[in-house]
Structure 1
């Protein structure tokens, strides 16, 4: 597999939206943070197989807003490569910390972020309770946003 990670500066296509919605089912929120953020894609030949979105929250604080990999490409280290590229990019932009948030029910994602060096930071209770449809993963209702942080 010849994989390239590069910055993406084109429009949000329906294919990319579908991929981003696998990680965040709120279309309006995805559109809002896609605009004005830095987008990296993992590309194999001409096909985008993964995407990550970096956003600046405060002067030295950045956030990984979304990361998603096509189902057939999961478990091959692509998310870890995207996270490493996002960390490098955030540091180049002057970040001192990089945050990421995920649902309390997102067990694989919680493990992934910790494997990449993130540490548990805070919990936003009932963050997902306002989503249009209830989210269930691993038999758990997703209600709370678990925030993780890494010092850069």
Structure 2
């Protein structure tokens, strides 16, 4: 991890970084269902845009992480962790109690969230089959079910 690199999050309204958003979710129509009533943050490091994150309020105490992505050139260097840590601090300042995220039932994303203490709360069977027109594969396996992970803040 580049420990001397600080990630700064700023809110964006309009002019969304679609290339980044679609790294985490390959369906623009799926992103559009949540983007416009959520908070979208651009992550910069030394003024360079490196990532994005989107959180949506479910109620005053529960938020959902809808999207988080880092450009491939900056992946595996700790930036995603810095972005998530910053979001957690933002939510704590808003007096939120819970952060939820939906992810596939396998893969690097699941491990990433579990490192932060997220725990499986529920399973949405066939979510990816029912909500995406094109199949989503990772490491040669097709994503079918979504896990809803929950972190108590």
Same-fold status (TM-score > 0.5) = yes
2:101 corresponding residue in structure 1: 100
Matches within 5 A, 1:1-152: 2-13=5-16, 16-105=17-106, 107-130=107-130, 131-152=132-153
Instruction: Tell me the matched-pair count.
Output: 149
Instruction: Compare 1-10 and 31-40 and name the one that shifted more.
Output: 1-10
Please report how far the alpha carbon of residue 147 of structure 1 lies from its aligned counterpart in structure 2 after TM superposition: 1.1
Q: Deviations over 1:42-84 (max 9, x none)?
A: 2123321111111111231111110000001000111111111
- The CA distance in 2 between the partners of 1:94 and 1:44, in whole Å, is 27
Does the Cα contact within 8 Å between 2:41 and 2:52 map onto a contact in 1? yes
In structure 2, the gaps of 5 or more residues are none
Q: Distance in 2 between matches of 1:98 and 1:133?
A: 28
- How far apart, in 1, do the equivalents of 2:15 and 2:150 lie? 27
Cα offsets for 1:99-122 (capped at 9, x unmatched):
0111124x1110110111211111
Q: Unpaired runs of 5+ in structure 1? A: none
* TM-score, scaled relative to structure 2: 0.90
For residues 112 and 28 of structure 1, the distance between their equivalents in structure 2, rounded to whole angstroms, comes to 25
Normalized against structure 1, the TM-score is what? 0.90
- Quote the Cα distance in structure 1 between the aligned partners of 2:48 and 2:82: 17
Whole-Å separation in 1 of the counterparts to 2:20 and 2:140 = 22
Q: Is the 8 A contact 2:7 2:82 kept in 1?
A: no
* Separation in structure 1 between the aligned mates of residue 60 and residue 98 of structure 2, nearest angstrom: 10
How far apart in 2 are the matches of 1:6 and 1:26? 24
Match of 1:18, SS?
helix
Aligned-residue CA RMSD (Å): 1.5
The secondary structure found in structure 2 opposite 1:148 is strand
SS at structure 2 position matched to 1:22: helix
Post-superposition offset of 1:86: 1.1
